[in-house]
Structure 1
Amino acid sequence: MNGVFSRLGVAALAAALVGVVVLYSTLFTVTQTEVALVTQFGAPVRVIDTPGLHAKIPFVQDVIPIDRRLLPFAIPGEEVILNDQRRLVVDAFAMLRVVDPLKYYQSVGSAEDGIRSRLVSTVQSSLRRVLGNRALLAVLSSERGQIMSAIRDQVNAEMAGFGVKIVDVRIRRADLPEENKEAILSRMKSERVRIANQARAEGAATAARIRADAERERTVLLANARADADRLRGQGEEAASRIYADAYRQDPAFFAAWRTWQAYRSVFATGGSRLVLTPDNQFLRDLQGPPPAAAAPPP
């Protein structure tokens, strides 16, 4: 009896092990970051993109997981000749996503090296085509975004048959070749100096023109101001002469006495003036006696 029970236990254990192996070969899990491609004897039969637990035919069907996330690929440095005959060593990278797992598997297989080699050659060809029509300053300026968009569109069009979508292509580094870096930098410096000198010359010409216009306007304003001043001065002197003449006609004796007193104040104001005059000099007549009586004003 013990032998029978022992044989039954071994058979049950073997059956359990076989069941575990069959169950393990039947069930598989699909995560949220991947898509499962089920193949039967190497030929794809279905695509599973729903995360969770799934089943397949054991020992007949296989499951190939394909990552659905953004996949970065580094593009090795490539020497590119630009439109202005300058050379750049361009180091780029690309971001792609698998959008058609079946076409992707049929085109390059499940290994990442298959898509990598095709992507690298496609991106390098597009870089040579697009950058070959651009100058160095365009690559180093804000136009780089437009350049990279054009490269991305070209790569997308060429990689459409592989079941992938190129989300982005970017230049990581763009360096001058070592053998002609110094010459190119010197030429760029000379070009910048020439542009700076031209800008300075144009600024100096503009400044001279502005100064000349300002000087001309200043001369015109001063001439007009002097003319107005002379005219006003002449009008004032004319009015003063008329007032003096009117005053003199009203009382010539008083006017003569007043003018004499003004002369006294001008001469003797400092207190140190000396006059050598004869006694009969008319300048001192008001100091020698009272002024003559004023005549009656004319009617």
Structure 2
Amino acid sequence: MNKTIAAAVALAVILVVAASTLFTVHQTQQVLITQFGEPIRVIRTPGLHAKIPFVQSVIAFDRRLLDFDAPAEEIILGDQRRLSVDSFTRYSITDPLRYYQTVGAQEVGIRARINSIVTSAVRRVLGNEPLLSVLSADRARIMGEIRRLVNEEMQAFGIEVQDVRIRRADLPEQNTDAILSRMQSERQRVAAEERARGQEEATRIRAGADRERTVLLAEAQAQADILRGQGEQDAIRIFADAFQQDPEFFQFYRSMQAYREAFSEGETRLLLSPDSEFFRFFRESMPSVGTQPARAAAPAAAPPTAAAVPAPAAAEVAPAAPQQ
């Protein structure tokens, strides 16, 4: 009975010693062995390992890529504009011994250091850059400079920074309205310039069209005057030829036209002498006194002048009254 108890106790002791001696390193971990709080060695090879039981301790560190999201910070850029920057950092523990000696075994300690270092580097780099550079293709260059500065300082903690990126870069709310108003004014200025340029082009086209219209009208008027002159020349020539063929008939025809134009309205009044040249054909159409032997025998007959002149014309044309 006593032997059984002793064997069970011995087995338990062996198991406890074995559990305290043997440990496993996972492939995602790296282990630091300490003895009475002092670091002894670093184990990065995954598998089963041994240590001195009850004397040495095992501290495991993650060897994977870790992340840290920094809170948004308001930063003044190189052109004195304010920008709210939200960044994140990707890092890995490359030296567990130095990491343990600087910040200890807890991850909380390193996060405070990363936050201060990243914020300082972002402020230092962006403080020399204008807003357009941050929002343009130069952003990759700016991020590379920030990563270099952060990596130089984090190497003292046994950490290698893989990447630092700006997740968001927003304008502060108090500056948003002013910048939007400035952008609107700039767009309005560009629109006004485009409208002025279009108005100038329209005025130039309209002036050219008016000039061409004036030239075309002048040329057409000149051509019309030339054709009208040629027509009048032909008409004069035709009338001259007709006049030369029978001058008496031509004078008679022109006088008839004058009578028609003068008396066509019916309200025309002319104050002319009876012996005027205008009534030459009226006088020639009247019979002379010597050719009427029966004038005394026929007192009731109408006077020759009244018989020769048509009634409407005699009513409308009156001889000139003698001067008083």
What corresponds to 1:99 in structure 2? 94
The CA distance in 2 between the partners of 1:202 and 1:9, in whole Å, is 109
User: Which structure 2 residues correspond to residues 147-186 of structure 1 after superposition, within 5 A?
Assistant: 147-186=142-181
Residue of structure 2 aligned with 1:144, choices 132, 139, 147: 139
Q: Deviations over 1:18-66 (max 9, x none)?
A: 1111101101111111111000011101011111100000110001111
Secondary structure of residue in 2 paired with 1:90: strand
- Equivalent residue letter for 1:75: A
What corresponds to 2:72 in structure 1? 77
Task: Give the alignment's Cα RMSD to 1 decimal.
Answer: 3.0
1:169–1:10 CA distance, 2 compared to 1 (3 A): same
Residue of structure 2 aligned with 1:64, choices 59, 63, 71: 59
Secondary structure of residue in 2 paired with 1:63: strand
- Equivalent residue letter for 2:151: N
- Equivalent residue letter for 1:63: V
The CA distance in 1 between the partners of 2:198 and 2:153, in whole Å, is 54
Secondary structure of residue in 2 paired with 1:57: coil
The structure whose Rg is larger is: 2
1:73–1:27 CA distance, 2 compared to 1 (3 A): same
Secondary structure of residue in 2 paired with 1:105: helix
Q: CA deviation at 1:87?
A: 1.1
Secondary structure of residue in 2 paired with 1:118: helix
The CA distance in 2 between the partners of 1:97 and 1:182, in whole Å, is 42
Residue of structure 2 aligned with 1:42, choices 18, 37, 57: 37
Residue of structure 1 aligned with 2:109, choices 100, 114, 117: 114
The CA distance in 1 between the partners of 2:113 and 2:139, in whole Å, is 24
Unaligned 5+ runs, structure 1: 1-5, 220-299
Residue of structure 2 aligned with 1:23, choices 18, 42, 47: 18
- TM-score norm. by structure 2 comes to 0.59
What corresponds to 1:232 in structure 2? none
Q: CA deviation at 1:196?
A: 6.0
- TM-score norm. by structure 1 comes to 0.64
Secondary structure of residue in 1 paired with 2:33: strand
Task: Tell me whether 8-17 or 89-98 shows the greater mean CA deviation.
Answer: 8-17
1:203–1:56 CA distance, 2 compared to 1 (3 A): farther
1:203–1:156 CA distance, 2 compared to 1 (3 A): farther
Q: Deviations over 1:147-203 (max 9, x none)?
A: 1111001111111211111100011112222233222222233335445656x4897
The CA distance in 2 between the partners of 1:120 and 1:143, in whole Å, is 24
Task: Tell me whether 187-196 or 129-138 shows the greater mean CA deviation.
Answer: 187-196
Secondary structure of residue in 2 paired with 1:97: strand
Unaligned 5+ runs, structure 2: 213-324
Q: Deviations over 1:78-102 (max 9, x none)?
A: 1101122221111110000111111
What corresponds to 1:272 in structure 2? none
Q: CA deviation at 1:7?
A: 2.1
The CA distance in 2 between the partners of 1:78 and 1:131, in whole Å, is 12
1:189–1:32 CA distance, 2 compared to 1 (3 A): farther
User: Which structure 2 residues correspond to residues 1-299 of structure 1 after superposition, within 5 A?
Assistant: 6-194=1-189, 200=194
The CA distance in 1 between the partners of 2:187 and 2:77, in whole Å, is 19
Secondary structure of residue in 2 paired with 1:76: coil
How many residues are paired up? 212
The CA distance in 2 between the partners of 1:81 and 1:138, in whole Å, is 14
Q: CA deviation at 1:11?
A: 1.7
